[in-house]
Amino acid sequence: MAELAVLGLVMILGLGAYWSMVIFPRQRDFQKREQYVSALSVGAEVITYTGMVGRITAFDLDRGVVFVEIAPNVVVRIMAQAIAREYDPNEFAPETSAAVSSVEPTASST
């Protein structure tokens, strides 16, 4: 009987550890994403997880859809969860400049 109680205690401790290390952080991240998406407004420039940059034109949060203009008169529907963050062109300029300058031109034969 004591072994059964110890086994039960170990299982409860194991489930508690699993919840605190796996499930709780995911719930917290999900809540942060929901707050972030609900704080976005029409006209904000955003980056999707695929790397597309666009401007938000409308929301349909009942369906979880955001309408993003990626080029003049080209509006796409994307899932709200696909928005990674707001776009800051100054953040990416140094990385792009460094990547372009590190590529050496190759001599082509004519």
Q: pLDDT value at position 98?
A: 60
- Transcribe 89-110 into DSSP letters: HHHHHHHHHHHHHHSPPPPPP-
Is the pTM higher than 0.75? The answer reads: no
Q: pLDDT value at position 105?
A: 60
Q: How far apart are CA 45 and CA 84, in angstroms?
A: 11
Task: Check: CB of residue 68 under 8 Å from CB of residue 57.
Answer: yes
DSSP letter for 41, please: -
Task: Tell me which residue has tokens 């997880």.
Answer: 49
Q: How far apart are CA 90 and CA 66, in angstroms?
A: 24
In one letter, which amino acid is 62? D
Span 41-89: which CATH code?
Answer: 2.30.30
Each residue of 45-102: pLDDT tens digit? 999 888 899 999 998 878 889 999 999 999 999 998 888 888 888 877 666 566 566 6
Q: pLDDT value at position 55?
A: 95
